[in-house]
Structure 1
Amino acid sequence: MESKKTLTKVLFLFTAVFLLLILGILTSLRIGAVSTDFGLIFQSFFSNEQTKEFLIIQNLRLPRTLIAVIIGASLAIAGAIMQAITLNPLASPQIFGVNAGASLVVVLSLVFLPSISPSSLVYFAFLGAILGGSIVYSMASSSTGTSPVKLALAGITVHLFLSAIIEGIVLFHEDSTQSVLFWLAWAIDGATWNEVQLIWPWATAGIIISVILARQLTILGLGDDMAKGLGQNVVVIRLFFSMLVVVLAGASVSVAGPIGFIGLIIPHIARKLIGIDYSLIIPFSGLLGALLLVTADVLSRFIAFPSESPVGIVTALIGAPYFLYLARKGGKAHE
């Protein structure tokens, strides 16, 4: 009886979030400086007419909305994976320096390799993500082990340090970094079909693999000794999932800049609602992350309407208080 109630709850939550995501996508396609309605949106999917409204929906709002869905899901799943492999409720791509490392290397490549193709930025982002995460983990490691708070402090320190370097690069190369400034402000409103084509293969592969292998994260959550007793190679599992984090977070940063806090707050919400089984947490986090970023993007349009504002403003307003709440708890519970 209890298992039936649990299954009903899970199905209800997945269905509710999915329907809210669809509603958010339609709202994102509708709202902007140019007014449209839901009828025009549905017509634009099946029409070859070149009207102003159809072109705006097809070439501006649709790729922007798809980018929000892909990046929201990718960052949320990356955060869930990080919290699972480190058993640290404060872990996320941003807090662990992954986003800042990816941003630094992307900015360096844009400044010193101005002719670089957009598709190559993904690989530079991957390299930077590995660099940032490795620095944080090496700083937090000691003979007495690591703790959630120690990792968080090391992550914040590295994040601030790398961010300062980025600001210095932008300051001393003003003429060649105008296109970088809005990207660094965590913006997706300029997204085009080129960005969608750039990110979707990496994000899709990372998300699918994460969902398929999510059970390994649940086993890892039982503790290293228990996982080894069940025949799991803990080192290999952590390394493999760390690379998935690099793929998901690196690809996201290469397109939209270092959007923060999604990977921190979404896994917590998912665990509170759906339990500790990562076979459910991973896909549910993906849906919640997509919903959050699509909603944040819609809300960001009202900050200086009809002008655009970076979506990172909204995610920061939501995420910063939540991070302070978690830090106040001291990271004692891996919820």
Structure 2
Amino acid sequence: MPDVTAAVLPTAVAERVIARRRRARARALVLTLVMLGAVALLVIASLAVGSRPLAPGDVVAALFSDSRDAAGVIVHELRAPRTLTALLTGACLGVAGVLMQAVTRNPLADPGLLGVNAGAAVGVVTAIAIFGVGTASGYVWFAFAGAAGAALLVTAAAQSGRRGDTVGLVLAGVALSACLGALVRIITLVDDDTFESFRFWAVGSFERRDPDVALQLLPFALAGVILAVIVSRGLDQLRLGADLARALGVSPVLVVLGAGAAITLLCATATSAAGPLAFIGLLVAHLVRGIVGVGVRSSLPVAAVTGAALTVASDVIGRVIAPPGEIEAGIVAAFLGAPLLLWLVIRRAS
């Protein structure tokens, strides 16, 4: 599809905008390739590191072998499922972070702002307290239903007022998150068994993830990514202003709704698979913007790969620093993400 920027902007301005976009796409391609290499190395590390360390050569041999020896069982049945889940979760959070900040035009917007984390928490608590579910593969659908329901409710509440009002979207998300968070605390305070089961999910972990978890959620992640790609051009054009976007044939309301649906699918997938992971989506969006620029379309591939790399790295670090046990990836992500985000803020202010 040809670039229509030149049709609505003065020639000199249009040329500068187009040149800037081309440079951003070139940087995005280079960064994507670099991060893909980093992801490959991190995947090998994730498969090798644990209570029983494996040599990288043994990991590679086990990956391409059907042998049922100790290395094959560890790689295929224990570490590969959690690594795939971490890759899926990180990619979803990275893309959702870019979309969320583009929709709200707020650099502090987080993928969980739509009430996704709180809704997923209610779903998990309901599964544990009422239905007696105690495994990740068992409550994944409860978490997904709660996350998606909360996001849809927030979007509906925001659209009931001024259509396309992103401020209303943020306020509705904050209000619903507070209400659902209070509900979760009430249930866990009065039921000790539910609290014991829920607290392991709430910190964000990939431990003991069944192979089916990532495969069950993969279609929703793919749908969210495809929808994100579809609305990315509209989000880029909305940065020029709603009137100019309409002149380019873009419907601001449809773009915001489409982006909201993509964020819902991606965040619900990530939160259902691993629990709430703080700072991943927020940090990835800032890192990508600092290198690639503000263009959503060129940022999505970089954000997906960077989010996957950061998430797998958090999981690996959690296993390295506390052998033979581990520190959950959600704790490591928050511990690493907060200083990095603070550094980015200080660097931007200076």
Pairwise TM-score range, normalised by the shorter structure? 0.7 to 0.9
Correspondences of 1:193-272 after superposition (within 5 Å) = 193-272=211-290
Q: Which amino acid aligns with 2:84?
A: L
Who is 2:184 aligned against?
A: 166
| Cα deviation 1:179-204 (Å, max 9, x = unaligned) | 32211111112212021122111112
Is contact 2:280–2:333 with CA below 8 Å preserved after alignment?
yes
Q: Which amino acid aligns with 1:120?
A: W
Is contact 1:67–1:188 with CA below 8 Å preserved after alignment?
yes
| Cα deviation 1:223-264 (Å, max 9, x = unaligned) | 222212212111111111101111110121122111121111
Q: 1:94 aligns with which of 112, 126, 130?
A: 112
Is contact 1:98–1:133 with CA below 8 Å preserved after alignment?
no
- Judged with a 3 Å threshold, the aligned counterparts in structure 2 of structure 1 residues 306 and 156 are, in CA distance, closer, same or farther, namely farther
Shift of 1:159: 4.0
Who is 1:185 aligned against?
A: 203
**Stretch deviating more after TM superposition (4-13 or 241-250):** 4-13
Shift of 1:175: 2.4
Task: Determine whether 1:285 maps to 2:303.
Answer: yes
Q: 2:45 aligns with which of 3, 18, 27?
A: 27
Identical-residue share of aligned pairs (%): 33
Distance 1:153 1:21 in 2: 36
Shift of 1:325: 7.0
Distance 1:153 1:299 in 2: 35
Is contact 1:260–1:312 with CA below 8 Å preserved after alignment?
yes
Is contact 1:80–1:285 with CA below 8 Å preserved after alignment?
yes
Distance 1:325 1:151 in 2: 28
The normalised TM-score by structure 1 is 0.85
Distance 2:152 2:295 in 1: 27
- Judged with a 3 Å threshold, the aligned counterparts in structure 2 of structure 1 residues 254 and 133 are, in CA distance, closer, same or farther, namely farther
Shift of 1:327: 8.3
Distance 1:320 1:12 in 2: 26
Correspondences of 1:1-335 after superposition (within 5 Å) = 8-114=26-132, 117-118=138-139, 120-121=141-142, 122-131=144-153, 159=177, 161-321=179-339
Gaps of 5+ in 1: none
The normalised TM-score by structure 2 is 0.82
**Stretch deviating more after TM superposition (285-294 or 200-209):** 200-209
Gaps of 5+ in 2: 1-18
Is contact 1:100–1:129 with CA below 8 Å preserved after alignment?
no
Is contact 1:102–1:124 with CA below 8 Å preserved after alignment?
yes
Shift of 1:322: 5.4
Distance 1:114 1:249 in 2: 25
Quote the RMSD (CA, aligned, Å): 3.2
Secondary structure class of the residue paired with 2:84: helix
Who is 2:15 aligned against?
A: none
- Judged with a 3 Å threshold, the aligned counterparts in structure 2 of structure 1 residues 43 and 146 are, in CA distance, closer, same or farther, namely closer
Larger Rg: 2
- Judged with a 3 Å threshold, the aligned counterparts in structure 2 of structure 1 residues 21 and 56 are, in CA distance, closer, same or farther, namely same
**Stretch deviating more after TM superposition (308-317 or 104-113):** 104-113
- Judged with a 3 Å threshold, the aligned counterparts in structure 2 of structure 1 residues 273 and 254 are, in CA distance, closer, same or farther, namely same
